[in-house]
Structure formats: C-alpha cells, structure tokens
Amino acid sequence: MFFSSDNAAPAAPEVMAALAAANEGYTSSYGADDIMDRVRARMRDIFEAPEAAVYLVSTGTTANALALSILARPWQAVFCHRHAHAEEDECGAPEFYTGGAKLITLGGADAKIDATELRTRGAETGQLGVHNIQRGALTITNVNELGSVYTVAEIKELCRIARNLGMGTHLDGARFANALVSLNCSPAEMTWKSGVDVVSFGGTKNGLMGVEAVVIFDPEKAWEFELRRKRGGHLFSKHRYLSAQMDAYLKDGLWLRLARQANAMGARLEAELGHVDGFRMVHPRHANMLFCGFPQAGHKRAQDAGAMYYPWPNKAPSGGSEVFLTCRLVTSWCTTTEEVDRFVAAVRG
Amino acid sequence: MFFSSDNAAPAAPEVMAALAAANEGYTSSYGADDIMDRVRARMRDIFEAPEAAVYLVSTGTTANALALSILARPWQAVFCHRHAHAEEDECGAPEFYTGGAKLITLGGADAKIDATELRTRGAETGQLGVHNIQRGALTITNVNELGSVYTVAEIKELCRIARNLGMGTHLDGARFANALVSLNCSPAEMTWKSGVDVVSFGGTKNGLMGVEAVVIFDPEKAWEFELRRKRGGHLFSKHRYLSAQMDAYLKDGLWLRLARQANAMGARLEAELGHVDGFRMVHPRHANMLFCGFPQAGHKRAQDAGAMYYPWPNKAPSGGSEVFLTCRLVTSWCTTTEEVDRFVAAVRG
Amino acid sequence: MFFSSDNAAPAAPEVMAALAAANEGYTSSYGADDIMDRVRARMRDIFEAPEAAVYLVSTGTTANALALSILARPWQAVFCHRHAHAEEDECGAPEFYTGGAKLITLGGADAKIDATELRTRGAETGQLGVHNIQRGALTITNVNELGSVYTVAEIKELCRIARNLGMGTHLDGARFANALVSLNCSPAEMTWKSGVDVVSFGGTKNGLMGVEAVVIFDPEKAWEFELRRKRGGHLFSKHRYLSAQMDAYLKDGLWLRLARQANAMGARLEAELGHVDGFRMVHPRHANMLFCGFPQAGHKRAQDAGAMYYPWPNKAPSGGSEVFLTCRLVTSWCTTTEEVDRFVAAVRG
Amino acid sequence: MFFSSDNAAPAAPEVMAALAAANEGYTSSYGADDIMDRVRARMRDIFEAPEAAVYLVSTGTTANALALSILARPWQAVFCHRHAHAEEDECGAPEFYTGGAKLITLGGADAKIDATELRTRGAETGQLGVHNIQRGALTITNVNELGSVYTVAEIKELCRIARNLGMGTHLDGARFANALVSLNCSPAEMTWKSGVDVVSFGGTKNGLMGVEAVVIFDPEKAWEFELRRKRGGHLFSKHRYLSAQMDAYLKDGLWLRLARQANAMGARLEAELGHVDGFRMVHPRHANMLFCGFPQAGHKRAQDAGAMYYPWPNKAPSGGSEVFLTCRLVTSWCTTTEEVDRFVAAVRG
C-alpha cells in the first residue's frame, strides 16, 4: 500500500530486460550508440515530428532546467504556476541553468495557470524597457502538480498567449504518458500542434530507472542544448543504458500501457474511496494523483495497516503523530487492484 | 579488439545482478534508500574515514565540477594540469558549477603537475589583491590523462604546496581503482592522509553503467554539496539504482578485481608490443592506458583486422585514411588476453 | 515644475566645489585616496559603528545587488516586497550578482512588507530540505517605492523575524536621508540597532552625481564584498571623484539639509494640493514622494503649464494623450517653494 | 614626478568645465539626455560608422567585460594575450559577465598575440565537438599592457584569423587615443575597417574622471548590451555627467591633444633616459608607457627625489627597500617636460 510517489516504484520488467540485452560488448559512447538511433526514430514517429531533436537525461529537474535554458536568457522571465515543480521543487535549477532568469509565478485553480493572469502579467513584464526583466518563456506541467490535466484547448490558449507575447512554451511532462492517456489525444496534439516548443518527456515516474527525454521541435536549438547538457554534466559516456531504457519504454506502446494502469488505479482509488463517509476530492483527479480528504480515524487506520502516503498540503511524511485530514495519493504502473482495495478497506475500517 | 576507451565497455555481471535485485517493490527516493546506507558505510570503511560525506552522481564531469564548486569561489582560481579532463573535456562544467572560477593550467611531464610551477604560479596568483583572481583549489587526476599515476609522495607534495597557499585539493579519480591497484597503497594513503580534501571516485570506467561517488572528508562541506547537486539536476529520485551499482562495486573487492584485470591487460599490451619493431612508449604506462608509437604499417594491419583505438595526440577516431604513428590504447575490466594477443599479432603482421 | 524623479536633479553646489577641489595633481587609485579615509571616518561616526566597512559605488542597483550577494547564496531566497526596486527595476541585477538566488515577493500595504506574510513564507521556505530554495536574506527599502517610511519599530520587527529564520537583512536606502529626516532618529537606530546588517546609503537622488555607499556592519564580509565589487566592474581607478562627492555630502550635515528641503517640499505639495477639489492621497506621504489623485482637468492644466511627472501606476511618462487621474510626484533637494506653488496653481486652474 | 599610472592623473580642465555646465536644472535620466545625443553623433562621426551603437560606462573593466559578454557565450573561449588586462587585472569580470566563458591565454612578444599561436590554438579549440569549450571571441589591447601598439596590419591579420575561426574581435582601447596618435591612422582603420567588432574606447586614463565608451559596430547586438549593462548595475540615472565628460573629450579633438602630450612625454623620457649609462628598453615604447632598466643607484636617487613608479615585472609599489633594476614608467596628459627632465636628472645623479 504505497501511494507516496510514483518515483518510488521499481522499473518495469521490459526495461530490465532491455538493459540486460544492451549490456553486451563495446559500444559507442555519448549518444552515438545504435539504440539511440532507434530511440530518435521512435520519438519522431510518436510525435509526428521528423525534424525534432531528441535527447536523454536522467532527472526531471535536468530536463526542465535545460529546456528552459534554451528558451529564456538570463535577463528574461519564465512564467509558471506558483505550484510548478520548477518553482517549488528544484532548488533553483532553472535559475542556475538559465544564468539567473526570474520565475514569475502565476495563480490558477488546480495548479492550472489562469490565462487572464498570464496575459496581464506578461503584458506588464518588460514594459519599462531596460529596467525590467524581459519576457522569456512559459512553462506548463501536464499532469500538473495538483493532479490536473490541461486539455488540448487549454494548452492551445496558453501557448497562443505566450506566442503573442513573444515567448516560447515548455511543457513539463514528467507524467507525460499519464496526461496523454487521460486526454486520449495524440502526442503531437498535446504539444507542437498546440504551440509547445520543447517537451520534458518523462520516463522515470512511469517505469524507468531514471531517464527523461527532451524533445525540441525546432532543431535550430539543438546544438546549444547539447553544449548546455554537456556543461551541466548530463552527457553520459555509457549512454546506451539510457537509450535501452527509453527504447523499451517506447516499444510496442509499453509507456502507454504502464500509464493506463497507473491512471486506472487512480480512478479506482477515487471510486472506492467515494464510498467512504466524509470523503471528498480537494482537486479533480485526471490521471494518477488524488488530492483528497477523509476523517482522521481513516488515516489512522490506513497508517496502522502500513499505508504510505503524504499528508497535503504540508507535505511532511505520514506515519508521525500529526493530525491531518487531507492527503496526496499517487498510483503508479505497478499499483495493483488488491493494493487499492486493501487501502480503501483500511480507511473504511 | 576494442581499445578506444574504458567507458565503452559493458557493466560487470555482478552489477547487473545487483540492479535486478534492487528492482523489487517500493523504496525511499533521493538517497534515503537502505542500499545507500550500506554504500556510505562501505566507503567510509574503505577510506578509513568514519566522518566522510559520500554522494553518488552519474558522470565524471559532474563529480569533478561539483567537487570543485565547494572548494573554489567564483573569483578564485583552480589550478590544474593543462591536459586535465576538467580543462579539456568538460565543456566548461567547472566554470559553470563554480560560477565562473578561472582554471589556471600548469605544465609537467606525463600530465603530472610540475610542483615548482604550482608553487610559482600559486604564489603569483592573488598577489595584487582585489584586482586579481584569488587562490582557490588544486585538482589532480589519478590515473591522469596521459596514463601516469602520481605516487603517494607526489600527491603529498602537491597537496602540501596547495595547503601552504591556502587551497584545498581535489582528486579526480575517474580511474581511482586503476591508480590504487597500480600504487598498491590504501585509499586513505592516496587521499586524505596525503592531503586530499575531496575525491571523485569513479565507477563508470571500471564496470558500472554510470555511477561515480564524491567523497568529502570534511563533513562541513556536505550540505552545500547536497544543495549544489540538487540544483544541478543530479539528485536521482530512483536513487536505489545508483546505490545498487556502487554497492556491488565495493562488495568483496569487486572494484579492485576489475581494475587489476584492466591494468594487467595494459601491462600485457606493453610487454607484447615491446617485441614489435619500432615500438616505443610515448608516456610511461602505470595502469590501463598506453600512449605509444609503432610503424604505420602496423596500424594499417590492426585497423584492417578491426581494432578500434584513437590516434594520439590529434584524437580523431581511427579507421579513416589518415596517416599516424602514435596512439592511445585503453584496456578495461573486460579486456581479455586473447584480445590483446590478437591485436599484437595484427600489429606485427 | 519637475516632479518626475529626484534622480533628474543636478548635483548640489557643495558637491561641485568638492569635485573641483579634488581635481588637483596625482593621487592614489582604487579607493586608497586620502579623501576616502575621511569618508570612512565620517560614515563610521555617523553610524556609531567604528568597525563598519564602507565602500562607494556609482549606482543604486549596484549597491543593492552587491549587498545582497554577500547575504544570500545562489540557492537561497531573498525576501522582498513585490514592489521592491530590486524586484521591479533592476533587470535581474540581484539574480546576476547572487548567482541566481530567487527573489520571493511579499505583499503589504503601502509597499511595506507584511510581517505575518514574511513569517509564514519564511517558515515555508526550505522546509523540504534539499529540494527547496533555502532561506537567504531579507531586503527592505526606506523610503520605500510607494513613498512610505518604515518606523524603527517596524524595521526591528522585520529584522527580528529574519534573524529568527536565520537570515540577515539589507536596507535599500536609495533615499536614506529622506527616511532619516522623516523618522527623526539616528542612523544607527534605523539600521544596526534595529537589526540591519548591510545598508545601501544613497547619495545620487539627494544631490550627488552618482555615488552610493554600502555600509557593512560585520567587517567579516568586507573582503568578499571588495572582490565582488571589482569583479562586477565597480571599482573605480580615479576613486577620488566618488570620495570627494560623498565627503562633501557628509560634511556639516549637507546630506540632511538637502533631504529636509526635499521632504519639506513634499509636505508643502501635499498640504497645498489638499485644497484642490477631488484631491486624495493614494498612499500616505512620509518623505519626498506623493502618490495621489486629482481630476483629469487638473492634470491637463498642469501638463499644459509644463509640469513633468509620471502617471501611476502605469508608469508611462506624462505629456502624452492618455487619460489618467493618479500620479507620482517626487520632490528633490532643489525643488523650490515657487515651483510647488506654481504647480498647485496650475492644477487648480 | 609621478609615473605610476595614467589613472592617477586629474581630469582635464575642459572636462571640469563641461561638468559644471551640465549641472543645470533637470534633465532626462538613463542616457536620454541631450548631451548623450551629441556624444553618439560625435562618436559615429569619428568612427565613420553612422550605424554604430554607442554606450558609456564608468570603468575599463566594465567596458571590456560587457563587450566580451555580447561576443562569447558561456561555453565559449575568449582568446587573449596572457598579459591581457582582462586576464590579469579584472578579478574574473569577463568570466562573470559572460557567464563562465574560458579565457585562453596566448603568448607573443611585447604582449602582442602571436598570430600563429592564435591560428593553432583556435583551430584546436572545439575540435572535439560537445566535449570542448567552443570558439567565441578574440580580444586584443591597443596600447597593450607592455606599452606596444599593434599596427593596422597586425590588427587586420589577427581579426582575419578570428573571423576565419568564426569569432568576433574586441579591442580593449583603455588607451585608444594613445594608440591612435601613435599609429597616425583613422579610428575606423584601427577598428572596423580592420575587422574589429566592438571597441572599449577609454577616456579615464586620458583626462576623464571615469568614463569609457563601448562602440558596437553591429547594431544588432545593441539591445542585448543595454540589458546586460543595466543588469550589471552600470546604467547611470544621472547619465548627463558621463555624457558631459565624453562630449568635452571628443570636442575639438581634445582627446587627441591629451594623448599627444602623454605620448610626447613618453618619447622624451625614452630619449633623455637613453643618455643614462646602463639604460635599456625592455620592451619597445610606442606610446606613453616605458618598460626599461637602469642601474639601481639611479632608482635609489629617483625615489629619494620623490619619483613615483612601479618596479616591473613584480609590480610591488616602489619606495620600499627592495632592490630592482627594471621598471614601468607611465606618462599622462598632464605630465610636463619639467617633470620628465627632473626625473632624468635624478636618475643620472
């Protein structure tokens, strides 16, 4: 009964098998391995973007920070939701990689950026010429930090506003697959067809050991990205082990299968907990994350039964003596029906 | 017959087994996994340094750049050999992580820093007060970039000079195990007992997929390191997969066994090539890297037979039409006697 | 009738005379001039701080950014009001000089930081360990950006909160003299006795050509400041011309006389405009800045009569065709009674 | 008898008069003053470059660092002579402003970059793709740090090499006027007609209080420069005082008259010292700096007579007890024949 985070789940068996298969003999370093050629081809195919530049890094923070560094200069602003991972959970990595760009935080229900606020704050920014931080980039997250999924229409609107303000858009897709499965659209629709310029395409939270892709639709930015990646220490000599994971992930739709399982378990949690007295959703669930509340006694019973998850919004790990009512529950590709049902039973008592 | 680099070799079977074993169930993220506790204990034991802070990152460039960032401030100098990896092969990662420190490059035969030059350049640096870059840190590499190994006495002398100049010392041990086996001393003797403050303890070139440890003997620097690591995007959520590799590496002396094999194959190469007419060593071989020359016809035959290695010093990959006489040959943990002998036979014709 | 900004006024005659007097023969460079010795002594005397380090720079942005750079590390937060000059008008200079620290903006009426919000946001910051930006420093402005002056009690409270959160405090005193005259307290009371660690002590807006002092009460920070100043290009070779200006400014209380005149003219403006129908203050006036409103016809007449000032809050320069009701009026050391009265007469019609 | 540096001389009377004249009434801030319009026009005229962007800053370090920041990206190299001011005397300002670019130092007699070495090192740089620092910019100094002046032909050659390597060229003209007078060519010939892209056009060492221009021949770079200048704290609110100095400097050829006097005094020093037994030039003198040697007794007598200058190369100030033979002597716009003759008489005894 583990609902703390999808980043604590193991790697999928197909991924382990691919790693073992890749571990034969000598191979070219630094991304010149044959498997990476396959990854590039698969990714361009999936995104219907034959010109896209595709790179692998090993953490989501890196993917985001490097992506932003090619979209915003040091004297520019990056607009994000105030609950964005880039703002709250990366210890300033975007500032570090951009050379000191300013994150301007916006509000909006359920961690979705309010379009009007983006328009207003964007218009104000840089208005006084050289004295001000200039407009740089927009970054949105899908699935976002409060478990909501931007619709394609919402993405389009935000990207259009950004474009009108002279800015490019980054999509933090640490849970890209979960969002896609939830939206039931194509990767292209969720990204470049809606105006997204650079994507962090997560794998780690959905069955990989630690691999994220960065997909850049404008290949003009590719060389700068490569230099920044190397300079950041994120170019792997034994790159084949990243390639192999991503290759297995993309092969035969594994990434979608894993995400569907995670989302289905999220839906089941929501449905089953719905029968608990006093249960309520704090934010709508669109994928594999629930923000919800139920009576304290239920939390007590769940924890006594060994359930692991975080109270929310204070984020301290559960299991202590503190009293709380609302929490975050995250399912993953390896969450089982049995696990969900056992948890709900414990909560119910 | 692959002698291009030890970073193109696969991972050792023990490492693959450890990864598979670690891939069970949920576990704590970000280095709070149980396996990492074991790694810390093993490392402190190996270094006879019970207070040492131990961290894992995934590339050598990262290990070096982060290590230097806690030793040198932005307005300080990092003294290194002009052939240091930090100077020549990291695309400015040390400058990036330190916030703009200046690498001052020194000469010295066989890529070993000349002690007198360090003393002189060190004394000059910062002499004019605020107008000058100040003294910051020394970094040395063992095994170094031209295949030589600093003796313990040499390390001691350089560290003493650095200390007298008010500087700490970093040791780039991308091939730490190969150097240690070559010196036949203890890890403590090669490092803190000789005055080294921070070590990049490599694993990737010696049988891991992509894991390096950073060992910091003064725990006061640890928290800053952790923040810089996170900010650089180098803190892994699924940290267990780094832990498992390093744990297997340190267990039962695997790291030393692998390095002994690599070094032994280097020695065999040197001995057997010694019988080739016109063969000569360009730099002394101390571990698993040879810089040597032999007649062009030998290169032609080796390449025709499928041998892979780099000409040196121009570094362009072999196999093209260019004419060269001297080259770099690197053996690894998985180089076999048969491979060496087949190569020498090809060279001989 | 010029009320656009105090930074558009000329230099005081005493300052010009001091520059002429300093322009004799050769003198030591880079702050080693005799006049600077006098400046240091005067400043320490004024602040009752015999150990304080005193430096001169030429812009307020520089004073602020350098001051913050010695209080906050790259991975830390600087707490400021959302209308702080450091946040809104320095094009990211604090981010540049600190190496990427994050400015966390707070609310509070009349551009004074709300103490409760500081306490709450401060407590939240860094709560999640390494994943978060850490606490760094607090910066407050006196006179602040909306013309209000923090009382000594208010400064004490904010500094105490900052100290309890482990942070130092910077005071942006671009209009230090105006604030001091308004508070009628001692420089020490307004700063270190209330918990301020570093002060930007402005001169430019109050009769100098372009000189600001930075006063650092803890001399341990002085050397780092000197290196950062040089590295930023802010160490003047012909330093005597900065020294001479600041020396004249501090001599015989010139700085206070100039500020008293500016504040008195601000008070007169407020009093006289008070008789205008429809006049209202938007923020309280404590020194030499008014944020106020009056009917459009009055603006029209004032502009027709040649008055210069900015509408507020939109900040576009006046004189255009746009319609506005509220404005910012700034008086300076050289504003005259006649100028004020003529302006009020024009507004009245 | 002051020969320590031209940056210790006072400002020219014409400059003081211009400052006084500018000190009337209110004027627009931040470079929008009328005097700056005149400066721009004069500078474009002088350089025969009607499109050039012209900016004023207050120190030479700033001019250089900002100029380099628009020519080189963080992962690129700036090629300079190993005695360049940017390398030796700016405490890392170029690294700071470029965001961590690497200064690659070159040799060459008399502090003139050796063209062959530039070609070789330039060709090597970036050869290994992403692993290496990339080529960025060349910076040369005229008059250089050892008193030599590059000829127009030499500038052309170095700029051509840089251009062929894909790099722009910056000219550090802290002593631009002294070089120009020495070469007797036009400003355009010494700069853009020879391939220079950006010029630091010094005024401080030649009669101003602290003003340097940056002249950018490609106006596409102008906006980035403006943002970087502001962000560095180098945009002056009371800009008119910089404008007034530079305006007076350029008016009626004052800048050339001042430089001619300085150079003439340098020539006189060389000629008269030439009659001293044991006198020798260490580097050729082309403008207003001599690097020369004469017997210790002569130094003793000169210092006893109150002469001020630095021994060279160790740079410690004279007047102490140390023994030296070679020294640096710098003349300025206000050095007189009498001063020179008195010095030579003292040396002779």
Instruction: Render pLDDT for C133-146 as a digit per residue (tens, 0 to 9).
Output: 999 999 999 999 99
* Chain D residues close to A30, C-beta within 8 Å: 130-131
In this prediction, residue B313 carries a pLDDT of 80
Check: CB of residue B330 under 8 Å from CB of residue B4.
yes
Same domain, B213 and B261: no
Q: In sequence order, what DSSP letters do the residues of C159-213 get, joined into one string?
A: HHHHHHTT-EEEEEETTHHHHHHHHT--HHHHTGGGT--EEEEE-GGGT-SS-EE
Same domain, C87 and C208: yes
Instruction: Render pLDDT for D8-64 as a digit per residue (tens, 0 to 9).
Output: 999 999 999 999 999 999 999 999 999 999 999 999 999 999 999 999 999 999 999
In this prediction, residue C321 carries a pLDDT of 45
Whole domain around residue A284: which residue ranges? 255-348
> How far apart are the C-alpha atoms of B61 and D131, rounded to whole Å?
10
In this prediction, residue C259 carries a pLDDT of 98
Is pLDDT of A319 > 60? no
CATH of residue C275's domain is 3.90.1150.10
Residue B4 has φ and ψ, to the nearest 5°, of -70, -50
Is pLDDT of A320 > 50? no
Same domain, C178 and C122: yes
Instruction: Render pLDDT for D272-292 as a digit per residue (tens, 0 to 9).
Output: 999 999 999 999 999 999 999
Average pLDDT, chain D: 95
Which chains does chain D touch, 3 or more C-beta pairs < 8 A? A, B, C
CATH of residue C229's domain is 3.40.640.10
Is pLDDT of A293 > 90? yes
Same domain, B218 and B261: no
In this prediction, residue B314 carries a pLDDT of 61
Same domain, D208 and D326: no
Nearest-Cα distance to chain B for A315, in Å, is 15
Same domain, D87 and D200: yes
Is pLDDT of D178 > 50? yes
pLDDT band at B325 (very low <50, low <70, confident <90, very high): confident
Nearest-Cα distance to chain A for C257, in Å, is 30
Averaged pLDDT, B260-275: 98
In this prediction, residue B215 carries a pLDDT of 98
Percent with pLDDT over 90 in chain A: 94
In this prediction, residue C323 carries a pLDDT of 58
In this prediction, residue C319 carries a pLDDT of 45
In this prediction, residue D273 carries a pLDDT of 97
Q: Which of C189, C223, C252 is the last residue of a domain?
A: C252
Nearest to A233 among B2, B28, B234 (CB): B234
pLDDT band at D315 (very low <50, low <70, confident <90, very high): low
Percent with pLDDT over 90 in chain B: 94
* Chain C residues close to A128, C-beta within 8 Å: 89, 315
Which chains does chain B touch, 3 or more C-beta pairs < 8 A? A, C, D
* Bond prior to D211 in cis (omega within 30° of 0): no
Instruction: Render pLDDT for A237-260 as a digit per residue (tens, 0 to 9).
Output: 999 999 999 999 999 999 999 999
Residue D304 resides in a domain:
yes
Pairing of strands D280-281, D212-216: unpaired
Nearest to A89 among C89, C91, C131 (CB): C131
Residue D307 resides in a domain:
yes
* Chain A residues close to D130, C-beta within 8 Å: 30, 226-227, 229-230, 235
In this prediction, residue A325 carries a pLDDT of 87
In this prediction, residue C315 carries a pLDDT of 52
Check: CB of residue C73 under 8 Å from CB of residue C60.
no
Phi-psi region of D271 (alpha: psi -120 to 50; beta: other; left: phi over 0): alpha
Averaged pLDDT, C8-33: 96
Q: What is the DSSP letter of C292?
A: E
Same domain, C221 and C273: no
pLDDT band at A126 (very low <50, low <70, confident <90, very high): confident
Q: Which helix (H) or strand (E) holds A105?
A: strand A102-106
Is pLDDT of A316 > 60? no
Same domain, A340 and A302: yes
The CA angle A245-A251-A252, to the nearest 5 degrees, is 145
Instruction: Render pLDDT for B24-48 as a digit per residue (tens, 0 to 9).
Output: 999 999 999 999 999 999 999 999 9
Q: Which of D252, D286, D316 is the last residue of a domain?
A: D252
> Closest-CA residue in chain C for D13?
C23
> Closest-CA residue in chain B for D313?
B124
Instruction: Render pLDDT for A194-216 as a digit per residue (tens, 0 to 9).
Output: 999 999 999 999 999 999 999 99
Check: CB of residue B301 under 8 Å from CB of residue B217.
no
In this prediction, residue B159 carries a pLDDT of 98
Residue A154 resides in a domain:
yes
Q: Nearest Cα to A194, choosing from A235, A223, A240, A162? A: A162
> How far apart are the C-alpha atoms of D30 and B286, rounded to whole Å?
63
In this prediction, residue A128 carries a pLDDT of 81
Residue B78 resides in a domain:
yes
Averaged pLDDT, A88-95: 96
Residue B238 resides in a domain:
yes
Phi-psi region of C263 (alpha: psi -120 to 50; beta: other; left: phi over 0): alpha
pLDDT band at C126 (very low <50, low <70, confident <90, very high): confident
Is pLDDT of A317 > 60? no
In this prediction, residue A323 carries a pLDDT of 58
Same domain, C234 and C310: no
**Exposure string for C163-193, b = 16+ CB within 10 A, e = fewer:** eebebbbbbbbbbbbbbbbbbebebebbbbb
pLDDT band at C314 (very low <50, low <70, confident <90, very high): low
> How far apart are the C-alpha atoms of B88 and B79, rounded to whole Å?
13
Contacts of C31 (CB under 8 A, 6+ apart): C55, C56, C235, C236, C239, C243
Burial class (CB in 10 A: 0-12, 13-18, 19+), B335: buried
Averaged pLDDT, D80-106: 97
* Bond prior to C143 in cis (omega within 30° of 0): yes
pLDDT band at A176 (very low <50, low <70, confident <90, very high): very high
Averaged pLDDT, C248-259: 98
In this prediction, residue C320 carries a pLDDT of 46
Q: Nearest Cα to B173, choosing from B129, B210, B214, B126? A: B214
> How far apart are the C-alpha atoms of D48 and D26, rounded to whole Å?
32
Is pLDDT of C317 > 80? no
Nearest-Cα distance to chain A for D170, in Å, is 22
Q: Which of D252, D282, D306 is the last residue of a domain?
A: D252
For chain B, the domain total comes to 2
Check: CB of residue D86 under 8 Å from CB of residue D80.
yes
Percent with pLDDT over 90 in chain D: 94
Instruction: Render pLDDT for B54-73 as a digit per residue (tens, 0 to 9).
Output: 999 999 999 999 999 999 99
> Closest-CA residue in chain A for B224?
A91
Instruction: Render pLDDT for A336-349 as a digit per residue (tens, 0 to 9).
Output: 999 999 999 999 98
* Chain C residues close to D237, C-beta within 8 Å: 5, 7-8, 59-60, 204-205, 210
CB C209 to CB D241 under 8 A?
yes
pTM: 0.96
Residue B7 resides in a domain:
no
Least confident of A233-242, B53-62, C108-117, D304-313: D304-313
> How far apart are the C-alpha atoms of C302 and C325, rounded to whole Å?
12
| Three-state DSSP state, C242 | helix
Is pLDDT of C316 > 80? no
Is pLDDT of D321 > 60? no
In this prediction, residue B323 carries a pLDDT of 58
Same domain, B178 and B324: no
> How far apart are the C-alpha atoms of C47 and C347, rounded to whole Å?
42
Helix runs in chain D, H state only:
13-22, 34-46, 60-69, 85-88, 93-98, 115-124, 152-164, 176-183, 187-190, 222-231, 240-250, 254-273, 296-304, 337-348
| Three-state DSSP state, A319 | coil
Same domain, B40 and B170: yes
Q: Nearest Cα to B47, choosing from B261, B211, B197? A: B197
Is pLDDT of A314 > 80? no
pLDDT band at B220 (very low <50, low <70, confident <90, very high): very high
Residue D81 resides in a domain:
yes
Among B36, B90, B238, B309, the strongest candidate for a mutation testing the A interface, having the largest count of A CBs within 10 A, is B238
Averaged pLDDT, C82-100: 97
Same domain, B83 and B155: yes
Among A7, A88, A238, the strongest candidate for a mutation testing the B interface, having the largest count of B CBs within 10 A, is A238
Tell me the residue type at A13. P
Check: CB of residue B202 under 8 Å from CB of residue B171.
no
CB atoms within 10 A of CB A339: 18
Residue D5 resides in a domain:
no
Is pLDDT of D69 > 90? yes
Helix runs in chain C, H state only:
13-22, 34-46, 60-69, 85-88, 93-98, 115-124, 152-164, 176-183, 187-190, 222-231, 240-250, 254-273, 296-304, 337-348
pLDDT band at D145 (very low <50, low <70, confident <90, very high): very high
In this prediction, residue D126 carries a pLDDT of 87
Is pLDDT of D318 > 60? no
